[in-house]
Amino acid sequence: MPERSEPPNDPIDERAALEDRLEFQRTTLLLKCGGLTPEQLALRSVPPSTLSLLGLVRHLSAVEAWFHSYDGQPDHQYFWDYVPGSTGGGDNVDITRAADDLASYQASVARSREAVAGRSLDEASPGEDYTLRWIYLHMIEEYARHNGHADFLRERIDGATGE
């Protein structure tokens, strides 16, 4: 299980505050998936939704690409059926690939951290109007929304609740 630290109430600066909040959200997702079998990770919510914890992991692996654009490297195939440029992939889960998808998520996050290390929050994403500051805020929002979904999914699976 990953360690999750509560972000400080008095961050050093804006960048530290954004990074701490995003890391808190990323770790929350992994904690929601912790200790579950591949079958449990792939368990769907309620019809007609196809939402699952593994699907959320796959989706968030793909949307980390907001940060990847800063490293100038080509789009990368982070999971077994990734379509370059896609932010989807959450519906197509395979229990035999659950460990691969979790490892791919962690690789995508690692690339994100490296891609923006030392960059100014005012720097626009290549080819876009979005600044790095906006992307951090958007990603915190994205994770918070999906971690809310993860709360309900985990509770349905084994009754676990909480942050």
Q: Encode pLDDT of 107-137 as tens digits.
A: 999 999 999 999 999 999 998 999 999 999 9
Q: Please report which confidence band the pLDDT of residue 83 belongs to, taking 50, 70 and 90 as the band edges.
A: low
What pLDDT is attached to residue 46? Answer: 81
Structure tokens at 27: 């770790």
What whole-number distance in Å separates Cα of residue 110 and Cα of residue 122?
22
Sign of CA dihedral 58, 62, 68, 73: positive
CB atoms within 10 A of CB 57: 28
Q: How much is the pTM?
A: 0.90
